[in-house]
Amino acid sequence: MNLYFQRMKQFILMICLAVLCSQTNISAQQIRLNKQNIDQVIREMTLEEKVQMLLGRGMSMGGDAKFPGTAGRTHEIPRLGIPSVYLADGPHRLAMSVRREFDSQFYYTTEFPSGTTVAATFNPDAAYLVGKTLGAEVKDYGMDILLAPGANLMRNVLCGRNHEYYSEDPLLTGKIAAGFINGVQSEGVGTSLKHFAVNNQETNRNNNDSRLDPRPLRELYLKGFEIAVREAQPWTIMTAYNKVNGKYTSEDRELTTDILRDEWGFMGLVISDWNAGKDAVASMEAGNDMLQPGQERQYQAILEAVHSGALDEAILDRNVRRVLEMVVKALSFHHYDYPNETDLKAHAAISRQVGSEGIVLLANNGILPFAENIGQVALYGTTSYDMVPAGMGFGSTGFGRYTVSMVEGLRKASIKVDRDLIRQYQQHLAEEQKRLFPNGRPPFSLTPPPRADEFLPSVEELTSQVASNELAILTIGRTSGEAKDRHVSEFYLTDNEKALLDKVSEAYHAAGKKVIVILNVCGPVETASWRSMADAILCAFQPGQEVGHCVTDVLTGKVNPSGKLPMTFAIQYGDAPSDNNFPFDYEFKMPDFAMGTGMNLRRKEEEAKPKEPVRNIDYTNYEEGIYVGYRFFDTFQKKVAFPFGFGLSYTTFDYEVIDSSIQGERCEVKVVVTNSGKRPGKEALQLYVNAPAGGLDKPSKELKALAKTKELKPGESEVVTLSWSLMDMASFNGKTSSWELAKGTYQWMVAASSTDVRSTVSHEIKVGRKQKAHDAMNPEKRITTLKNG
């Protein structure tokens, strides 16, 4: 009997254990990722799964990819309810393949204005509008994150990726970047603020070491990123290829954790640029949470480091948590039913609107805007017929859905264009295509393909053209792209461009007719030697696919130009101090890559050969310190062709300061802006600060606030408020790692450009202040009185 009860007891115990195990298995099976259980999901992950989550899944280049031609995706773990998140390159357009295998649909996206053009609006609301519209396309096509915007400073005019960036000034950079990010993310998709940081040249970009002091690093090269992080909180930040003071950015804890997270309060995910850095374990420790696009050697290195104890698994848990916090925000996680098509017509209108607002009128002797009854015009320059919508690279192929030429733009505005000249250029361009691309134009190129050379009309042809046309328009084009910096020769007109402009100007002026020059360029070009040959100069930069319409809208007065230069136009290359520390005439060949998919994508490493580091190639010394752009030209009174912030209008504006104050931690100036001319228009105001002597050495002025009016009718006024933080006027002391605001009298200058100050007010800071960098997130502790205060 006892044996019977003993066996029954064992049987019941076995049933209970079986039920318990079954419930445990069911519980494990039921764990699915959500916003509340991220830590629990991490505990359920194997070590191998954690490592996978911290590496990308390769670039989506194959025809079998869900979104061909995009940057890639993150790993998925179906058993835990973790989907892939899909990434697409930017910043001018959603970059993906137009065609897909066995699919009759065309997946077109809109080519928006380049970053430079958006910055030239001096209008964060315009940047928001571009971002929101781009975000809508990302959402409509089922993607999750747009790898944009770029917030590196335009340190040198020849940087190959300047077209992606915004300005030589960190405030303008940060404000435009924040507007763009907020616009994109308002659509429920993410951004990736890049390339963090000091990524100011493309030559040897994977190995170049940017060497600079703490002060310019903080005040210039990090400040734009800081503004964007504080005002917009991008979902992700992308570290750069280069080193900063000897460390790869993806392996630099001071950048990715101490400054970015602890000081600025960044709450998102840090990812590497594609195949950036060398040491995967160091990247994990530094807080570079995800390595893209993922490589087998990185997987093995991280796995082995954890097994050996060299890498604490808790660091992986921290980084995985940040990945999952991003995943639960993504549309893919929420199974968004995307339409897989977008409103291209409406988006083209936005591109045209912002592209037109970013055009800068550099010179005008009264020829613009066109008279209503203007006659036939002659279009010169190959770019007039082959306009440049934006820069080249992974984010913009330059071969979008369409690009509006000057011919189309003018014709749509009912302006006749010389047909004989059109036929001449059509023939010339066809011949140039055969010469330049005997095997056909490449479908994709990181760097810009060569462009057609100019041809010179004969004396007889030019005489006939002058007689047949009311005026001449000559367009000069420049392109730029990834992986290659511009050569110094590209800053100047070519021999044929100079000869063409000289001939056209002489012939038309001899007949009492006008010549207009359009600059469809990626950045500054030399203008001082030829500007007198033109009766008007329009700098269109790269205003997107609607470029011909954008320029025509300004020529005709449909749009009153309100763009301002986001960088200085120097008289010649060599005038800026950074020009001596840049590879301006070096032909650098990028190393080859073995392009594959997934973790099979790996770099072909060259044999390690000891060699002496080459200046401006292996390392670049930022010897100019804080004196970049107008900070140098204005302080040392160096003549320029066109100053920072410059731009003309078809009307005039009067400024009147009606109030200025310091209230607590905020500085404020109120200005009445009145349209004193005869046409409706917008005006971009700039507020510069001149600091007192006695503190750290300072430039003669620094931009601290900006604002743009609405469109004002003739005689109409608007009160514009310019505001900034008191500590925005401080300087960074590298020795004490603190921001210092010197006591004394500060001049606040309300201006139309860096050299056109309209009104100045003075305010005294009676007690100096100091803010330790590491206390930036703790307002109660951060402000102390300077010893000399």
Question: How remote is the C-alpha of 548 from its chain's centroid?
Answer: 23
Alpha-carbon span 567 to 547, nearest angstrom: 21
Alpha-carbon span 486 to 497, nearest angstrom: 18
Alpha-carbon span 434 to 721, nearest angstrom: 56
Alpha-carbon span 183 to 130, nearest angstrom: 7
Amino acid at 35: K
Alpha-carbon span 396 to 393, nearest angstrom: 5
Among candidate residues 211, 237, 213, 215, the one with its CA nearest the CA of residue 226: 237
What's the angle, vertex CA 764, arms to CA 763 and CA 769, rounded to 5? 120
Among candidate residues 157, 162, 188, 158, the one with its CA nearest the CA of residue 173: 162
Cβ contact 94:86 at 8 Å: no
Cβ contact 151:193 at 8 Å: yes
What's the angle, vertex CA 594, arms to CA 591 and CA 599, rounded to 5? 125
Among candidate residues 172, 156, 279, 163, the one with its CA nearest the CA of residue 570: 156
Provide the token pair at 204: 């040897």
Q: Where are the alpha helices (DSSP H) in 141-255?
A: 170-185, 214-216, 223-232, 253
DSSP 255: I
Bridge partner list, 640? 570
> Of the residues 140, 144, 252, 273, which is catalytic?
273
Residues sharing a CB contact under 8 Å with residue 186, sequence separation 6 or more, in sequence order: 128, 131, 132, 135
Cβ contact 116:162 at 8 Å: yes
**What is the H or E stretch that residue 428 is in?**
helix 419-436
Cβ contact 556:369 at 8 Å: yes
Among candidate residues 756, 768, 754, the one with its CA nearest the CA of residue 691: 768
Cβ contact 609:183 at 8 Å: no
**What is the H or E stretch that residue 87 is in?**
strand 86-89
Provide the token pair at 244: 């900063």
Provide the token pair at 112: 């928006």
Residues sharing a CB contact under 8 Å with residue 108, sequence separation 6 or more, in sequence order: 98, 344, 400, 401
Alpha-carbon span 54 to 41, nearest angstrom: 15
C-alpha separations of 336 from 110, 324, 545 in Å? 22, 18, 29
Provide the token pair at 416: 């006749």
Alpha-carbon span 404 to 520, nearest angstrom: 13
Alpha-carbon span 429 to 577, nearest angstrom: 39
Among candidate residues 167, 175, 158, the one with its CA nearest the CA of residue 120: 167
Among candidate residues 461, 477, 474, the one with its CA nearest the CA of residue 501: 474
Cβ contact 522:116 at 8 Å: yes
Provide the token pair at 645: 């912030």
Cβ contact 33:42 at 8 Å: no
273 is catalytic: yes
DSSP 619: E
Catalytic site positions: 273
